[in-house]
């Protein structure tokens, strides 16, 4: 007799599956959950600490989120929405810390001020406008601004040392920013689930998904051979591998999607004296014609207790959809239903293609020159180039069926078919909690009303906006800042 199907199968053991598993364990502790991961360990792809920048994106420093309106004002709604989302994440982490489901906060989150930093008169004027617009919003009321190099030097020596004194510079500073090791977080979440009975199958690569009664038959390949398992509900949290699996599942909601891989690289230094000059995350402004994901940033990181500074990202091209993927990944996802969208996107995004070609052919000298725009004293000998995670930019279709490049995270749910998956990379890991809560709402419409109250106990701001109730928001911020050991609120 074959064993009964699991209630839930999570494909991939990155931060998304880890977060969904943690939510399910809270809401339905009796459900059986199995996790299938193709690699030897949890979180070795994009969620690994060195494969992303570790920014807890809260809207404090990402200048490209602001959209200029025709009347000259700035639309900062994306910054506010990102802030709201990260506060949901902070509340969930705090609740898991309080219940002991996560170990000490310092294992995965560090207080790390977030700065936006620019040079040149035009950029300084833009930053001033950005700051003046955002500081009226309660979630951003604590942000500071300065165009004084003495003050900016107190925030980060690296940004001012060696800089021509006549060049105008300006920065904003938000003390409650974070640096997050999403790999450590995913491992801690999955360890807690395994301790409560979740089955984690490492070295099990899922190769096929077929509908089976009211659930799914999952084919997986492991060193022991090819086997099948069954589950009533499947989450495809396979990162760059999600598109192929969603296509294989045959759900209509995955029709028409395509993906384009962009690999990331960072310059990294571990030289102590250099690292000591920059204990913040500083995000610059993308140059004209460069997409937001190409905005330069200089990040202090703490990984396994050791400090370092990363600069990047530099884009590269690799046809694989995962670092451990196949060179045929891109080809394998091309279908008659998505090739038109891919061609449209290529035609409509000449700027992006030019940027990618420029990046791929950039020499080490050019990369160092880009770094010196933020850290003028950077010395070649202190920096090494490391390869970060693979991003698969999602190509979807607009209302007219025309291909459209999507920069956000795309949740694909098929409630009738009891399957959901996640595509896309940005803002990524920081949004894991709100995105996985949205998944529960969309994929389990019958169950969700019964989960809403327990979810609000974990995340009091769920379904409300913190930005419109300053005092209440401040209480929540104080509580979560204390739980996570953050500076400021």
Ligand X SMILES: Cc1cc2nc3c(=O)[nH]c(=O)nc-3n(C[C@H](O)[C@H](O)[C@H](O)COP(=O)(O)OP(=O)(O)OC[C@H]3O[C@@H](n4cnc5c(N)ncnc54)[C@H](O)[C@@H]3O)c2cc1C
Name the site residues for ligand X (rule: CB under 6 A).
11-17, 36-39, 43-47, 52-55, 57, 182, 205-206, 237-239, 241, 245, 264, 313, 322, 388-389, 391, 422, 425, 427-430
C-beta of 281 vs 285, nearer to ligand X: 281
Cβ distance to ligand X smaller for residue 109 or 476:
109
Cβ 17 to ligand X shortest distance, Å: 6
Beta-bridged to residue 261, according to DSSP, are 392
Q: Which is nearer to ligand X, 43 or 112 (CB)?
A: 43
CB-nearer residue toward ligand X: 43 or 175: 43
Closest separation in Å from C-beta 240 to ligand X: 6
Burial of residue 471 (number of CB atoms within 10 Å: 0-12, 13-18, 19+) = exposed
Closest separation in Å from C-beta 444 to ligand X = 20
Question: How far from 137 is each of 130, 134, 489, CA to CA, in Å?
Answer: 12, 5, 15
Please give the structure tokens belonging to residue 57.
């994106």
The CB-of-205 to ligand X minimum distance in angstroms stands at 4
Nearer to ligand X (CB atom), residue 169 or residue 209? 209
Choice between 160 and 420, CB closer to ligand X: 420
Least separation in angstroms between CB 148 and ligand X:
28
Smallest separation (angstroms) from ligand X to the CB of 301 = 10
Minimum Å distance from CB 402 to ligand X? 26
At a CB cut-off of 8 Å and minimum separation 6, what does 111 contact? 175, 176, 177, 178, 485, 486, 487, 488
Tell me how far apart the alpha carbons of residues 388 and 318 are, in angstroms, rounded to a whole number.
12
CB 432 → ligand X: shortest distance, Å?
Answer: 7
- Report how far residue 312's alpha carbon sits from residue 306's, in angstroms, rounded to the nearest whole number: 19
Of the two residues 215 and 389, which places its CB atom closer to ligand X in the complex? 389
Q: How far is the CB of 186 from ligand X (least distance, A)?
A: 7
The answer to whether 82 and 59 have CB atoms below 8 angstroms apart is yes
Smallest distance from the beta carbon of 197 to ligand X, in angstroms?
20
Contact 318, 390 (CB under 8 A): yes
Task: Specify burial of residue 142 (Cβ count, 10 A radius: 0-12, 13-18, 19+).
Answer: middle
Q: Could you tell me which residues come within 8 angstroms of residue 2 by beta carbon, excluding any fewer than 6 positions away?
A: 230
Between 308 and 430, CB nearer to ligand X: 430
Nearest Cα to Cα of residue 93 among 463, 447, 429: 429
Q: List b or e across 411-449, with b for residues whose CB sees 16 or more CB atoms inside 10 angstroms.
A: bbbbeebbbbbbbbbbbbbbbbbbbbbebbbebbeeeee
Tell me the C-alpha distance between 305 and 45, whole Å.
Answer: 21
- State the residue number with the nearest CB to ligand X: 14
Handedness of CA 68, 70, 72, 78 (dihedral sign): negative
Nearer to ligand X by Cβ, of 36 and 311: the residue is 36
The size of the chain, in residues, is 489
Of residues 131 and 235, the one with the C-beta less far from ligand X:
235
Nearer to ligand X, 169 or 236 (CB): 236
Collapsed DSSP state (helix, strand, coil) of residue 30: coil
Q: What is the DSSP-derived secondary structure letter of residue 54?
A: -
Q: Is the CB of 342 or the CB of 388 nearer to ligand X? A: 388
Q: Edge-to-edge strands of the sheet including 114-119?
A: 144-146, 169-174, 114-119, 281-283, 297-303, 306-316, 258-269, 384-397, 403-406
For the bound state, the minimum distance from the C-beta of residue 209 to ligand X, rounded and expressed in Å, comes to 10
Nearer to ligand X, 160 or 411 (CB): 411
| Nearest-approach distance from CB 178 to ligand X, in angstroms | 10
Q: What distances in angstroms separate CA 81 from CA 59, 371, 394, one per listed residue?
A: 8, 30, 21
Specify which residues 385 forms β-bridges with. Answer: 267
Query: Token digits for 254?
Result: 């995955």
Q: Any idea of the CA torsion for 162, 50, 180, 87, to the nearest 10 degrees?
A: 100
Least distance CB 14 / ligand X (angstroms)? 2
């Amino acid at each position: 007799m074959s064993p009964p199907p699991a209630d839930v199968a999570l494909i991939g053991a990155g931060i998304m599956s880890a977060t969904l598993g943690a939510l399910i364990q809270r809401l339905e502790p009796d459900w059986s959950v199995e996790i299938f991961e193709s690699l030897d360990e949890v979180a070795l792809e994009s969620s690994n600490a060195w494969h992303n920048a570790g920014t807890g994106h809260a809207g404090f420093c990402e200048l490209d989120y602001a959209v200029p309106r025709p009347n000259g004002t700035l639309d900062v709604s994306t910054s506010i929405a990102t802030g709201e989302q990260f506060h949901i994440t902070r509340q969930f982490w705090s609740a898991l810390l309080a219940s002991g489901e996560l170990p000490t906060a310092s294992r995965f989150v560090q207080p790390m001020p977030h700065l936006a930093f620019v040079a040149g008169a035009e950029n300084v004027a833009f930053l001033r406008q950005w700051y003046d617009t955002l500081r009226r919003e309660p979630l951003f009321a604590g942000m500071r601004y300065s165009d004084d190099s003495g003050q900016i030097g107190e925030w980060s020596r690296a940004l001012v040392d060696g800089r021509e004194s006549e060049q105008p510079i300006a920065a904003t500073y938000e003390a409650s920013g974070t640096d997050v090791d999403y790999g450590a977080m995913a491992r801690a979440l999955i360890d807690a689930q395994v301790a409560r009975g979740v089955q984690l199958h490492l070295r099990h690569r899922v190769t096929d998904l077929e509908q089976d009664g009211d659930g799914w038959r999952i084919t997986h390949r492991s060193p022991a051979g090819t086997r099948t398992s069954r589950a009533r509900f499947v989450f495809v949290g396979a990162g760059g591998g999600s598109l192929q699996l969603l296509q294989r599942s045959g759900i209509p909601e995955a029709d028409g999607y395509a993906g384009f891989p962009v690999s990331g690289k960072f310059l990294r230094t571990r030289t102590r004296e250099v690292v000591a000059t920059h204990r913040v995350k500083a995000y610059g402004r993308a140059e004209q014609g460069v997409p937001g994901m190409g905005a330069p940033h200089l990040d202090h990181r703490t990984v396994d207790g050791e400090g370092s500074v990363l600069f990047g990202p530099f884009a590269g091209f690799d046809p694989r959809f995962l670092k451990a993927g196949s060179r045929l990944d891109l080809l394998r996802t091309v279908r008659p239903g998505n090739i038109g969208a891919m061609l449209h996107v290529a035609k409509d995004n000449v700027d992006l293609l030019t940027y990618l070609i420029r990046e791929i052919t950039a020499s080490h000298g050019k990369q160092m020159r880009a770094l010196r725009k933020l850290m003028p004293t950077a010395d070649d000998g202190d920096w090494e180039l490391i390869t970060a995670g693979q991003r698969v930019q999602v190509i979807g279709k607009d209302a007219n069926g025309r291909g459209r490049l999507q920069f956000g995270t795309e949740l694909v749910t098929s409630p009738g078919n009891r399957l959901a998956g996640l595509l896309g990379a940005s803002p990524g890991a920081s949004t894991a909690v709100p995105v996985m809560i949205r998944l529960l709402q969309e994929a389990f419409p019958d169950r969700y009303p019964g989960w809403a109250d327990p979810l609000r106990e974990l995340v009091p701001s769920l379904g409300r906006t913190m930005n419109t109730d300053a005092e209440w928001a401040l209480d929540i911020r104080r509580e979560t800042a204390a739980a996570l050991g953050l500076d400021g609120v």
